[in-house]
């Protein structure tokens, strides 16, 4: 099995889900006492969030590039960035390393393409919803993501940073997300992208009739497919 390098901590709440799902996935695929071969560099999200708020993406890119290089030197055979928002800086990682980088937007787009959805709602941080780096990547696959209105984007973003990243799961916030999804469905959305790695802590496919694309779970599956391909699993 190829060693999976995780750049995590943004937030650690979802990085913990990555770690659990990777190990559950290996156990399901290989059985017995097998677990994932993982290297994790967990960053201090307070520092990253401050850079995001200030728009200091250059400094944030330096941090991610350094993290990726450290993982590569330690033996990682691929890099997984455990956050959607920071894929804004994916090029900084790919230019700093030689090992494959598993881009979360590409993974998500491929999953959507396997479904009937082509105009899903994108729920994510304000950065991901409003800037073009993520939606343009989806668009290259023929996926035209919708985003909520201004007030809805405010609520989606606030709930991520003030609640989910702090380990708080509020029923009122779940109801707000589901109302936003229902409104988007009435406007023609044919799916919903859980486009922040924490959102799966709040809502899931069981909560909506629209196809739900949990980016965390999809990213994990892609990492496992890369690190433990079928022939290796059978060996």
| Residues designated catalytic | 83, 196
Residues 146, 188 contacting (CB under 8 angstroms): yes
Question: What angle, 0 to 180 degrees and rounded to 10, lies between the N-to-C axes of helices 215-227 and 104-113?
Answer: 100
The two three-digit tokens of residue 33, written as one number: 């006492």
Whole-number Cα distances in Å, 188 to 42, 62, 138, 147, 183: 39, 40, 18, 12, 9
Cα separation, 200 vs 65, in Å, equals 27
Whole-number Å distance between alpha carbons of 191 and 210: 5
Alpha carbons 15 and 197: distance in angstroms, whole number = 8
């Amino acid at each position: 099995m190829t060693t999976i390098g995780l750049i995590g901590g943004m937030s650690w709440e979802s990085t913990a889900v990555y770690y659990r799902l990777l190990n559950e996935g290996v156990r399901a695929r290989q059985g017995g006492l097998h677990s994932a071969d993982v290297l994790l560099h967990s960053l201090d999200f307070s520092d990253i969030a401050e850079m995001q708020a200030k728009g200091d993406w250059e400094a944030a890119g330096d941090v991610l590039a350094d993290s990726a290089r450290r993982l590569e030197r330690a033996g990682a055979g691929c890099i997984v960035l455990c956050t959607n928002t920071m894929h804004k800086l994916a090029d900084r990682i790919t230019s700093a390393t030689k090992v494959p980088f598993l881009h979360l937007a590409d993974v998500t787009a491929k999953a959507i393409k396997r479904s009937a959805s082509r105009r899903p709602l994108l729920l994510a941080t304000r950065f991901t919803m409003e800037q073009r780096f993520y939606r343009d990547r989806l668009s290259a696959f023929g996926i035209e993501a919708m985003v909520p209105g201004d007030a809805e984007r405010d609520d989606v973003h606030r709930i991520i940073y003030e609640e989910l990243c702090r380990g708080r799961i509020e029923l009122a916030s779940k109801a707000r997300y589901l109302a936003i999804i229902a409104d988007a469905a009435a406007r023609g959305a044919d799916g919903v992208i859980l486009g922040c790695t924490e959102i799966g802590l709040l809502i899931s496919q069981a909560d909506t009739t629209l196809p739900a694309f949990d980016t965390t779970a999809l990213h994990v599956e892609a990492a496992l497919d890369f690190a433990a391909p079928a022939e290796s699993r059978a060996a």
